[in-house]
Structure formats: structure tokens, C-alpha cells
Amino acid sequence: MPLPRPKLTPYHFNARGARMNPTYSVVIVEDNPWIAKLLSEYSERCGLTVLQVVPCGEDIMSCYEQLNPDLMLVDIGLQGEMDGITTIQTLRDKGFHRQKIIMVSGTTNIEHILTSMNELGSLYFLSKPVLFPKFEAAIQKAVTEIELDRKRQEPGETATWITVKNLKVEVPILEQSIVFVEKEEKRSTLIYLVNGEIIEGNTSLSDILAQASPCLFSPYKGYLINLKHVMSYEKERGLPGSRRYLIHLQHTPNKIPLSRMVQKEFAQLLYEMSGKR
């Protein structure tokens, strides 16, 4: 029998205060009621809609097609005849490949872990006890993957990818998922994404602009913004003599400075872009 569904919260606020709408759904397959409850609470905190919580693979088979979640949290050591790996393999065999899988288990069996990560395409393997920071990181990674998948399916628009360096690793980022970029003085570059994630890198703003479409714009020294996420802008208030403007963006409470020197160019680009939407 399915476990009781938790009460859902309408919004998730990340560590920097950005509100994230609950546009993604999750099914939890976990036979320990206490851990299932914890995963449900964690999911709520991350802005996910919990569609169902079930204790075994057999139960999810009977309702999976109807639920059609974006994400699955699956324990490897489930009760019943189907463990977590068998459950996912069976769903894959039935043609369900879209959903992102996060495996959760206390197992130390390296074969199970490798099977989960490689053969099943699991995005993350969370070891019990599951702590919220690691859980949130896994969800952010999954949400980014979901958004990229959705973007690839949108007709009529060519995706632009930005490659940034994070230490020795190159990370590809879909331009559409970027809200703004901030260069810390003599430090790293921070890339703020629509899902609330912040990617830290050491790629310069000029190198990012060289890869970008005209949608990325430099409104002020040390900043890039995505014009597609601009809501409005206004003159800065509260500072006597200030001639700057402040830009309001979607997906973040941060207000980005706009230099008076580029204000007309910025306004013209916004006008041209509004005609293309």
C-alpha cells in the first residue's frame, strides 16, 4: 500500500533567498517509513511536488504511467521481489527513459553502486543517512538536466552553450539557463542559473561573451545578464548623486547595476527582443 502523502509547501527558497517554483514532480520508492518521510520533507524544501510515496517496486509499476514524474528517488534495498535496481531496469525496459533517477541506499556493495551510476544512468547516489546539503545538490543537478532536456525539445530555437572552467574541469552550460554572471574582484566567476544553482568558475566575462548570443549583455563592470530574464529596470534610489539604474531579473532577488553609459543600448536591445517574443 502507498504510504501517506505529505503536505506540500508551495515554494522553496534557496540559500540566497531566490524563490523557486515547484514545477517538477517526484516519486519516492522507499520501504523505511521514517526515511520516506525525511525524503518527502527534503523534496518539499527543494520545491518538488511529491506525487506518491511507495514502499516497493511492485506498487510503483501499477501507477507509474499515470503519475509520469520528472524525478524518482529510489532505495536499492526495497522489500518485495523487486529491489531498486530491478525496479528501474523494468521501467527502462517498458520505455520510461525520460525520468531522472537518484538512488538512495545504505549499501556498501560497490557492484550495486556502479550498476546504479552506469547501467541505469543514475544522476546521483546518496548514501544513508542522507543529509540535506547533499540531497539538495543532487536535486539541483537533476533539475538542471530536466531543463536542458526540455530546452532541447523546444522547436525553432537553436541552443547556445557556454563552456566555463571550474578548476581543471570544463562545464557546459545552456545559455538560456543563465540568469546573470558576476565576476568577484580578483576572484572567481559566479554563474547564477534559473534553478537557483550557482556555478563557480574561473572563466573571464570576455571569454563567456565570446561564446554567447546577443542575449548576454554587460550592463556594468563585473556583470553579465541574460536579456531574456529581464523584468524591468529603474533609477537607483537611496544613494544621493547616483546616476545608475537597477535591473530586476526573473529567478533572483538580486538587483544588477546598469551604467548610464549603456542604458540606451540596453533599452534598445530589450525593445528589439520584445518584438521577437
**pTM of the predicted protein model:** 0.52
Cell triple for 84: 531498486
| Mean pLDDT confidence for 213-220 | 94
Judge whether residue 246 has pLDDT over 80.
yes
What confidence score (pLDDT) does residue 211 get? Answer: 94
Judge whether residue 53 has pLDDT over 90.
yes
Name the pLDDT band for 30 (thresholds 50, 70, 90): very high
Predicted confidence (pLDDT) per residue in 77-97, tens digit? 888 888 888 888 888 787 777
Judge whether residue 272 has pLDDT over 80.
yes
CB atoms within 10 A of CB 60: 26
Judge whether residue 162 has pLDDT over 80.
yes
What confidence score (pLDDT) does residue 10 get? Answer: 32
pLDDT: which is higher, 120 or 229: 229
Terminal-residue alpha carbon distance, the chain? 48
Q: Determine the CATH number of domain 161-276.
A: 2.40.50.1020
Name the pLDDT band for 3 (thresholds 50, 70, 90): very low
What confidence score (pLDDT) does residue 21 get? Answer: 41
Place of cell 520516506: 36
What confidence score (pLDDT) does residue 111 get? Answer: 64
Angle at which helix 33-45 crosses helix 132-153, to 10 degrees, equals 60
| Mean pLDDT confidence for 219-248 | 86
Domain ranges of the chain: 12-153, 161-276
Predicted confidence (pLDDT) per residue in 105-130, tens digit? 876 666 656 655 555 666 677 888 89
Q: Does the fold of domain 161-276 match that of domain 12-153?
A: no
Burial 205-235, CB ≥16 within 10 A → b, else e: bebbbeebeebbbbbbeebbbbbbbbeebee
Q: Which CATH number fits domain 12-153: 3.40.50.2300, 3.40.50.300, 3.90.1310.10, 3.30.10.20?
A: 3.40.50.2300
